[in-house]
Structure 1
C-alpha cells in the first residue's frame, strides 16, 4: 500500500475547498501527502522529478486530461532509466475529464484519493508521438480534423457553463463551414489516403468533452484504436440530424472506419493539428506508437478500460441488446 504521495495540482484548482478537505482526510488517515501547484509550462515535469528524488510512492495528477498527460509523460520518461518509478493516479478536476469518465474514476477528490489507498496499480500503455522530430506523449486520446477544431475554438466560458456539452454545441454551430482534412495514414495492414472529418487515435475512448471516438479502446492491450470519420460529401446535414435524434455514438458507428494498431504514420502536405490530451500540436508528419506498460496507474477494479473487464463489458452489452 502506498503511503508517501505527491499531488500535482493544476493551478486552476488550487482554491478548491473539496481538494483541501480530501487532502486533510488522507493526512488524518496517516498518508504523507504533499501538494505542488503548477503555474506554467514545465512545472508538472519538475514536480514529478522532485517527487521521484524524494522517494514518493505515488504521483497524483490533479486536473483534467492535460494535467494527466503531463504527469504521465514525465513518469514515462523517468521509467526509461529507473526501476522504482512512482505509480500514477488521477483526481479529476478538469472541465471534461474524458479519461476519468471512461475509466470510471470517482469524480470527487475524496473518493478519487481513497481509490489510491484501496487499489493496487496496474501497468497501462501510453502513446509516444514524434511530431516532426519532437517527442510527445499522450495518455488518453490524440484527435484531429473537425473534432480538433471544435475543442480548440470552444469558448472557455461556454465550457465552464455547459461542460462537455459545450463542445457539441460549438460543433453544430459550425456545420456550415466544415472543411475536411487530407492526410496519408500508414500502419500494419492499414493504409488510407484522402480526406476525413475527424481522426481519433485512442489509448482511452473519448475526448473533447464526451466525443467517444474510440469506444472499444483498452489501456493495457499494447495497442491503440484508430477511428477515421470520412468526408461525408452531401450527407453532413443528415448526419447531424441523426446525431441529434439518435445520439452521437449511433451516427459515428454508421460511417467510421476503424483499426487496432501498434504504430501509425500520419503525413500531410499541409500542417496538420493533432490534439494530444487537449494540447494542440501542429506538424506535417506524426509517428505514433503504443508503449506497453509505460506507467503503473491506480484504476477501479472494474474499470472498463482494462482487458480483464472487456469480456464482461461485451457480455453486458449483448444482454442489453437482446
Structure 2
C-alpha cells in the first residue's frame, strides 16, 4: 500500500515525526510537510494519479481538518482512504476513532484492518462551503478559542482549553437563535453556545457529545441556553460528571441537517478553523471518507 503522510511541524508532538518515519520505513511512503506554500490539493491529486491509496494526517485535529477538506474536493469514486497518526495537542477525532496515541500502535492501524466509511459534515453559508469531521463549536466557544495563545497551549497542553474558558465564563454573551433541526423549529431562543458534533470530544477530550458516532449518518446537536451563574455551574459540573445533556439548559437532538441564524451572528470554529461569517446550514455527508480506525472502535 502506497502512503502519503501529510505532517504539521507546528503540531504539539511533531518532534515524534522521526519515530513515525522509522515505523513506516518498510512501506512505500511519500512525505509532505504542511506550510503556506504547499498546494495540498495538487499534491494529493498527483499522489492519486501515481497510484497512491492512503493519505495519512500526522498531526492534530487541525491537520486532520485540512486533509478532510482537500479529500472532499475529490470525486468519491477516486477518493483515497485516510489514516490518522495523532501528533497534536488534543487529538480529539482520533480519540473518537479509538486510534492509539502511541506512534507505533497508531501506525499499525494503517495496515491491521479494513478501513471504515466515516461521515463528514458540510457547512454552507454566504460565500462559505467547508467540511469537518469532528465538532463545530459556536457562540462563546469561539471566544474560548481566541483566548488560546501559543504560550497557553505550550504551558497547559490539552488542559489549555479549560484555562482559556476562565475569562469567558465570567462574561458570557447571549445569542438570540433561530434553528430548524430536521423540521423541528426553535425560535427566539436565547443561547450561550451551539455544538454540532460528529465526534464525541472537543477542546482537549472534553466530552461534549457522548452519544455521537461518526458512522451513523447523523450528527449530534447540542444547544446550550443562556441562564445565570447557577445554571452555568450545573452545566460545567454536569459535563465533568458525564451527564450534562440532562441539564434543563441543554437541548439535545440527533439530525441530518440544521439551518440556523442568530443575533448577533454566531461564529463557529470547525476543528480549530475559525469561520468569521455565520454558517447557515450544516448537513451530514454519510460514509464520505474511508478511514482506518483503532481495533476497539465500534461501528
Compute the TM-score of the two structures, normalised by the length of structure 1: 0.85
Higher helix fraction (1 or 2): 1
Match of 2:253 among 251, 256, 259: 259
Q: 2:209 corresponds to which residue?
A: 214
Residue 23 of structure 1 aligns to a residue in which SS?
helix
1:3-48 C-alpha deviation (Å, 9 max, x unpaired):
10000011325994532122223223xx101110011176433332
1:209-263 C-alpha deviation (Å, 9 max, x unpaired):
22322111111111111011111234245437736xx826344542321101111
Q: 2:132 corresponds to which residue?
A: 138
1:175 and 1:15 mapped to 2: Cα distance?
29
Return closer, same or farther for 1:109/1:178 CA change in 2, 3 Å cut-off.
Answer: same
2:147 and 2:20 mapped to 1: Cα distance?
33
- Say if 1:185 and 1:191, in contact at 8 Å, map to a contact too: yes
Q: Structure 1 unaligned segments of length 5 or more: list them.
A: 307-322
Q: 1:202 corresponds to which residue?
A: 197
- Say if 1:49 and 1:74, in contact at 8 Å, map to a contact too: no
Q: 2:157 corresponds to which residue?
A: 163
Q: 1:148 corresponds to which residue?
A: 142
Q: 1:191 corresponds to which residue?
A: 185
Equivalent residues, number: 297
1:98-148 C-alpha deviation (Å, 9 max, x unpaired):
111222211122221111011211111100110213210011111111222
- Say if 1:268 and 1:285, in contact at 8 Å, map to a contact too: no
Structural RMSD (CA): 2.3
Return closer, same or farther for 1:211/1:286 CA change in 2, 3 Å cut-off.
Answer: farther
Q: Structure 2 unaligned segments of length 5 or more: list them.
A: none
1:20-39 paired onto structure 2 within 5 Å: 20-28=18-26, 31-39=27-35
Q: 1:249 corresponds to which residue?
A: 242
- Say if 2:143 and 2:168, in contact at 8 Å, map to a contact too: no
Return closer, same or farther for 1:158/1:261 CA change in 2, 3 Å cut-off.
Answer: same
Q: 1:72 corresponds to which residue?
A: 68
1:294-313 paired onto structure 2 within 5 Å: 294-304=288-298, 306=299
2:90 and 2:47 mapped to 1: Cα distance?
27
Compute the TM-score of the two structures, normalised by the length of structure 2: 0.91
Return closer, same or farther for 1:151/1:284 CA change in 2, 3 Å cut-off.
Answer: closer
1:254-313 C-alpha deviation (Å, 9 max, x unpaired):
232110111111112433211111111022342110001111000113215x3xxxxxxx
- Say if 1:152 and 1:280, in contact at 8 Å, map to a contact too: no
Residue 163 of structure 1 aligns to a residue in which SS?
helix
